[in-house]
Amino acid sequence: MAERKLTTKQKLFIKHYAKLRNATRAAIEAGYSEDTANEQGAQNLAKLSTEIKAEIDKQAGRIDVEIDDIVRELNILAFSDLADFVNIDEGGGVTMKPIDEIPEIQRRCIESIQEDRVIKENEDGTKVTVSDKIKYKLHSKTKALEMLGKYKNMYVENINLKGDINHKHEVSIQDIMKNIDNDT
């Protein structure tokens, strides 16, 4: 089947729709008038469905993340150990490990790093570091565990249904007698 000739606006509409999944917004982004974008978007959606599907498939192919990759990362976050990030001396003093001493896989658990350094001048004009603190903020273990639990269907969703149920079931004496006769 020959590829049909598309206008520049149609090509732009396809690209924007594949990204936005909203026909009106895609039409506006493609250059259609805001006044007619709703109508043009609906028409293009119907006319260009094959091309839109192909573009969505093409864009999806660029996202190379599998469920196993996501679960693996969640496991790293959920089961991280604080001992991977700190040194504890014999007296119980705690110091943060330098970033290059933390295994690469554990560094993924770090959400942010904050450094607080205080430098003062001595009387002779030399600069001396008085205080140097590094803080690592880790991604939430609780959130990672919750997401893993949902993935593994470990939670039961409670659904509250409200309303009246009125159901009448009428049975005739003849039906009851037939059932009794059949049972004996």
d(CA 24, CA 36): 9
Per-residue pLDDT tens over the stretch 78-109: 999 988 999 999 998 888 888 899 999 999 99
| pLDDT, tens digit (0-9, with 9 covering 90-100), for 14-64 | 999 988 889 999 999 999 999 999 999 999 999 999 999 999 888 877 666
Q: What distance in Å separates the CA atoms of residue 184 and residue 176, rounded to the nearest whole number?
A: 13
| E strand spans, the chain | 86-88, 94-96, 110-121, 127-138
Predicted pLDDT of residue 165: 66
Asked which of 65-74, 111-120, 171-180 is least confident by mean pLDDT, the reply is: 171-180
- DSSP structural state of residue 137: E
List of domains in the chain: 8-62 (1.10.10.1400), 69-143 (no CATH)
CA atoms of 168 and 172, how far apart (whole Å): 13
Residue 172 above 80 pLDDT? no
Average pLDDT for 162-182: 70
| Range 104-131 average pLDDT | 84
Predicted local distance difference test score (pLDDT) of residue 48: 94
- The DSSP bridge partners found for residue 114 are 135
Query: According to the model, what pLDDT value does residue 157 have?
Result: 63
pLDDT range class, residue 158, cuts 50, 70, 90: low
Is residue 67's pLDDT more than 70? yes
- The pTM for the full model equals 0.45
Query: 114 vs 182, which has greater pLDDT?
Result: 114
What's the chain's average pLDDT?
A: 84
More confident residue, 90 or 156: 90
**Treating both helix axes as pointing N-terminal to C-terminal, what angle do 141-151 and 67-78 enclose, rounded to 10 degrees?**
140
Measure Cα distances from 16 to 51, 95, 131 in Å.
12, 50, 52
